[in-house]
Structure 1
Amino acid sequence: MLHIDIHSFSYKKGGIPKDESGNGGGFTFDCRGILNPGRIEEYKSQTGNDIGVQEFLETQTEMPKFLELVKSIVSINIDNYIERGFENLQISFGCTGGQHRSVYCAIKIADFIREKYSGSTEISLHHDEQHQLNISNKQ
């Protein structure tokens, strides 16, 4: 079974998460090229887990296109890793504060992998800046 650690993080606060598996890497995607909902008053206190922020990212930004490309890239490796019997992969999403865009991406990629690779992957989802979202994320 392939274990996939997915992180959302802040480039400003903690930086790119260290790969604890010993493999030394994985994918790191920079979400800062997507319009930041945190600059809009009604979304400032919300996270990428909130419906309003999600709807904004899905309808007012290039996020859907960005995520489709990410899905294509990570699928190539996941397919290969499963076929070769690899045990670990890390996928990280960073944005300025680790609150909106990176959280959204981490959640959506975890959902995508759970659906596409059910039975052959185990996912741990870590929101490095939004600890309140880290409740029982293993699946």
Structure 2
Amino acid sequence: HFLKSIPFALDNVQELFSQGRIAVELPELKKAIEQVVASGQFEPFDTERGAQSLLTVRIHSFSYKKGGIPPDPSGNGGGFTFDCRFLHNPGRYEPYKQLTGRDEPVINFLQHHSKMGEFLNDVFRIVDEAVENYIERSFTNLMVSFGCTGGQHRSVYAADALAKHLKEKYGVALELEHIEQEKKNWINK
């Protein structure tokens, strides 16, 4: 959330400087702001460009125990695979056993009792660089997979979060598959 607010903050500070509404002289701050703006580092990505690109990002959740890492149908030999098993597992507690990473109690658990947020920030940073590079180079496929023990809680939540992030930030074509959950028609006993 903080990173998303930076472009707006930069615009606001520039506007204050241009209108002379800052009561004290801050030449070094003004110079630093100008350098950050000139770098373009915080410019939002053109989602229309992403939507018109050739890139399709395939995102999977899977179970290491039941099926293992999914094959890459593009023939490129795979992509990123992130292991969610180190994160606190809601599936170890009775109230969550029949739920998935899409259910509100599990979402709350992962957001408040695990390091899921930190993990996803790192994933977004890594995958964003690949997506931007692949769009620039006119690549057609990128695969990102999230695995956990049963493919039910952590990996489902992480795959959904990445899909939402990429859709909002880049507008690229997405294919989202929750391998274990789709096999069970989302019914967990």
Residue of structure 2 equivalent to 1:122: 173
Q: Deviations over 1:7-57 (max 9, x none)?
A: 000000000000000100100000000010000111000000111101100
User: Between Structure 1 and Structure 2, which shows a larger proportion of helix residues?
Assistant: 2
- Runs of 4+ more than 4 Å apart: none
Q: CA-to-partner distance for each residue in 1:113-132, whole Å, 9 max, x for gaps?
A: 000001xx100000000003
CA RMSD of aligned residues (A): 0.7
Equivalent pairs, count = 131
Structure in which a larger fraction of residues adopt strand: 1
SS in 2 for 1:42: helix
What's the % identity of the aligned pairs? 57
Opposite residue 127 of structure 1, the aligned amino acid is: H
Q: How does 1:15-54 map to 2 (within 5 A)?
A: 15-54=68-107
Q: Which residue of the partner structure matches residue 4 of structure 2?
A: none
Give the number of the structure with larger relative contact order, counting CA–CA contacts within 8 Å between residues 6 or more apart: 1
In the superposition, the TM-score normalised over structure 2's length comes to 0.68
- Give the Cα–Cα distance (whole angstroms) in 1 for the partners of residues 90 and 69 of structure 2: 21
CA distance in structure 1 between the partners assigned to 2:102 and 2:137 by the alignment: 34
User: Which 5+ residue runs of structure 2 have no aligned equivalent?
Assistant: 1-53
The structure number with the bigger radius of gyration is 2
Corresponding position of 1:73: 126
Return the offset for 1:112.
Answer: 0.2
CA deviations on 1:98-117 (whole Å, 9 max, x unpaired) are: 00000000000000000000
